[in-house]
Structure 1
Amino acid sequence: MKITFVLPYTGLQGGVRVLAIYAERLQRRGHEVTAVSNPFTMPLRSKVKSVLVGRGWPTNPAGQSHFDRIDVPHTVLNKERPVVDADVPDADVVIATYYATAFGVQNLSRAKGAKAFFIQNHEADKRRRDADAAWRMPLHKIVISKWLLQLAQEEFGDKIVSLVPNSVDLEQFNAVERAKGAVPTVGILYSTSWMKGCRTALKALEKVAAVVPSLRVISFGAEKPGLDLRLPRYAEFHYRPPQNSLRDLYAKCDVWLCGSAREGFHLPPLEAMACRCPVVSTRVGGPLDIIEEGVNGHLVDIEDVDGLSQRLLQVLTLPQHDWKRMSDAAYDTANRFTWDDATDLFEKALELAIERDRRGDWSPRPMILA
């Protein structure tokens, strides 16, 4: 197949990493893959705020992106705008990868390919009106978690949907069997995005530290901690760590904490599991699909600070043999999610998009493909 990915921009975000993985793996399978994106831009107001809270002037060093690491042709448009026919090659299928890109993709001619929409989240903030409009377009939907599948079914009446769960690179993320550490250690992703729930996670950690004075926190993220969201003194922070060092960071943790308010999938909990780390998470996205309560981790309600702290303490104070049982279960869970399997499903989803376009079939049906 000739396949075109249309991205809003490229960078070091987790969603961009997923797109780069699929683009590279599809190319390895013999498909002709192209990526087209807008340039990365940040409003002046956001840049000034970054300075005021102590992070400095924000940069994306040398335009760093996960697409820099792969050999897939990538065109960056001259300015931020919807794609038009002249921007993309003729293809078998063209994929919108964000609600804002769906509007341009929807208006492309049929020569640019059957139209698909790869959905990694549902925007519920001020973008919701436009996001909902994109969901209602006659594009073949590919979603990454069961809650997005349910949303497509129940809210948008789109019954022909492909479910392609995110996965984990088990060559990159793995760890040997290990015991719980001598120093109680919790891992978190640092982010100022409200969706990531870092404030909730930090409040939970504060309660844990009051009970466990020796608590250590390991954190990493794509933005430096600032005055508006401080890390505690017992936290060590890694700014944009190299991909090949993430495994070691996960493997130092006794439990991984996700306090998110909203996620499409969210890869860090699954990556942590691959490194034999149990997970305590709010009920969002991927964690809902991968956590078996009390077996490989725990789930609590969104914004439930007390629930998160109690479950963290429960994991941190487990006897060694019980912690190892949970650690092994987390590892076993991660091994059920491979990118080879996910790419198989992604290929089938694109083939279905092409078939639906050929038939002109965009009517709802009680059909789910996974």
Structure 2
Amino acid sequence: MRITFVIAVASLAGGNRVVATYARLLKARGHEVTVVSRPRPRRTLRDRLRAWRRGRPLPPHPRSPLFDALGDSHRVLDRRRPVVAEDLPDADVVIATWWETAEWVAALPASKGRKFYLLQDVELFDHLPVDRVRATYALPLRKLAVSDYIRDRVREEAPDSEIDLLPNAVDHAVFDAPPRARGTPLTVGFLHSIAPRKRIGLAFDAVASARLRLPDLRVISFGTTPATEDFPPDLIYRRAPPQQEIPKLYAACDLWLFTSAHEGFGLPLLEAMACRTPVLATSAGAAPDLIDGRNGRLLPPDPEAFSAEIETISRMDPTEWRAMSDAAHATAAAHSWEAATDRLLGYLREEIRS
């Protein structure tokens, strides 16, 4: 098949990791795959003024290597503008991956392929034009949701929508680790983000509370933004680490903290568990579908709840922690991208035949 993905920008975001993985696997199976994106936004005068007031230079956008394997099959537009028919090859299928791209794909002629909308989040965010976002849920695109949460929320906004499930997975060739014992001292980790819904403050507060009882607690984090003065003391932080380093960061932890208020899926859940790291999580994204009490804990968004569980697990018998670690790995092992790609292809072929 000839398959085109339309993405907003080739960043390091988890949604792009999903698209890049599908694109790579589809191409490896002999399909003709194209990804089209816009360039990164230019730094605004306001951005530069903020950096000047802080007395720090404005850091460049972290480069994303996610689509390098596609070579010339990843096309970046000459400037930030909507994708139009002339930017895309004729294809059997074209897949939107974000609300703006859904608007663009809906306007394409039939020659660009049967139209799909990969729903990776419920994008009704305050900083977006929510009326336009909501309207995309009623567009005549076949919809694929990566989690039950997304499917159920979109159906609330567009009750007549038919939505199929296409759960995310994890690349076991990348995210894996051998069996291990719990570390000494205990190490917790989390993904850093300044997005309000990620609730990084909850992770910071949980660490601060846990350190009152576990003063030698070791803390690791990575993200795409620069370190700031509000980081916990002695935080080991890696900004935009090379992709091959990320599994090692997960595997260096005995617990992973997932503190989001809401998520479309939450890839770090599976990535951490694939690296044999149990997860303490809020009930966001796919966490209720993945965490069963044996491989981690679902917790209320309360730093004391996270802190208490960190302390409890720090005092577990080593064999109990090892059982949690093994259960986390087994959960991730049941979610492969090869199986997810089979499922995606099934939906695409079904639509083409209809």
TM interval, short-chain normalised: over 0.9
SS of residue in 2 equivalent to 1:94: strand
Query: Which TM-score applies when normalising by structure 1?
Result: 0.90
Q: Does 1:58 align with 2:59?
A: yes
Offset of residue 300 of structure 1: 1.8
State the shift of 1:40 in Å: 0.8
Give per-residue Cα distances to partners, 1:68-117, cap 9 Å, x unaligned: 24346021112222211111111111111100111111111111111101
Q: TM-score, normalising length from structure 2?
A: 0.94
Aligned positions of 1:125-164 closer than 5 A: 125-126=125-126, 127=128, 128-164=130-166
1:17 corresponds in structure 2 to: 17
Alignment of 1:166-185 (within 5 A): 166-185=168-187
Aligned with residue 219 of structure 1, among 218, 221, 239: 221
Decide which moves more: 315-324 or 19-28: 315-324
Rounded to whole Å, the distance in 1 between the matches of 2:343 and 2:53 is: 45
Over 3 Å counting, the alpha-carbon distance change for 1:243 and 1:317 in structure 2 is same
1:318 maps to amino acid:
M
- Give 1:210's match in structure 2, choosing from 203, 212, 218: 212
Superposed, 1:1-370 pairs within 5 Å as 1-44=1-44, 45-50=46-51, 52-53=53-54, 56-60=57-61, 63-71=63-71, 73-126=73-126, 127=128, 128-227=130-229, 230-292=230-292, 294-301=293-300, 303-355=301-353, 358=354
Q: Contact conserved, 1:187 with 1:217, CA < 8 A, in 2?
A: yes
Q: Match of 1:165, as an amino acid? A: P
In the TM superposition, what is the alpha-carbon distance from 1:138 to its structure 2 partner?
Answer: 1.1
Query: What residue is the counterpart of 1:367 in the other structure?
Result: none
Q: How many residues align?
A: 351
Contact 1:48–1:57 (CA<8 Å) still a contact in 2?
no
- Flag the structure with more relative contact order, 1 or 2, with Cα contacts below 8 A and sequence separation at least 6: 1
Q: Is the 8 A contact 1:273 1:331 kept in 2?
A: yes
RMSD: 1.8
- Give SS of 1:263's match: coil
The CA distance in 2 between the partners of 1:170 and 1:352, in whole Å, is 28
Q: Deviations over 1:129-188 (max 9, x none)?
A: 221111111111111111112123333224532211111111211111111111111011
The secondary structure found in structure 1 opposite 2:222 is strand
Shift of 1:43: 5.0
Assess, with a 3 A threshold, how the Cα gap between structure 1 residues 354 and 314 changes in structure 2: closer, same or farther. farther
> Is the 8 Å Cα contact of residues 23 and 72 (structure 1) preserved in structure 2?
no
Change (3 A) 1:194 1:55: farther
Distance 1:309 1:211 in 2: 9
- Of the structure 1 ranges 78-87 and 41-50, higher mean CA displacement relative to structure 2 is found in 41-50
**2:170 partner amino acid:** V
3-state SS of the aligned residue for 1:8?
strand
- Report the CA distance shift for 1:50/1:342 in structure 2 as closer, same or farther (over 3 A): farther
Measure the CA separation in 2 of the matches of 1:141 and 1:114: 12
- Whether the 8 Å contact between 1:216 and 1:235 is mirrored in structure 2 is yes
* Contact kept? 1:281, 1:298, Cα under 8 Å: yes
Does the Cα contact within 8 Å between 1:116 and 1:353 map onto a contact in 2?
no
Whole-angstrom CA distance in 1 between matches of 2:187 and 2:211: 11
Give ranges in structure 1 of 5+ residues lacking alignment: 359-370
Range with bigger deviation, 83-92 or 314-323 = 314-323
The residue that corresponds to 1:363 in the other structure is none
Partner Cα distance (2:309, 2:350) in 1: 42
Cα 1:53–1:206 shift into 2, 3 Å: farther
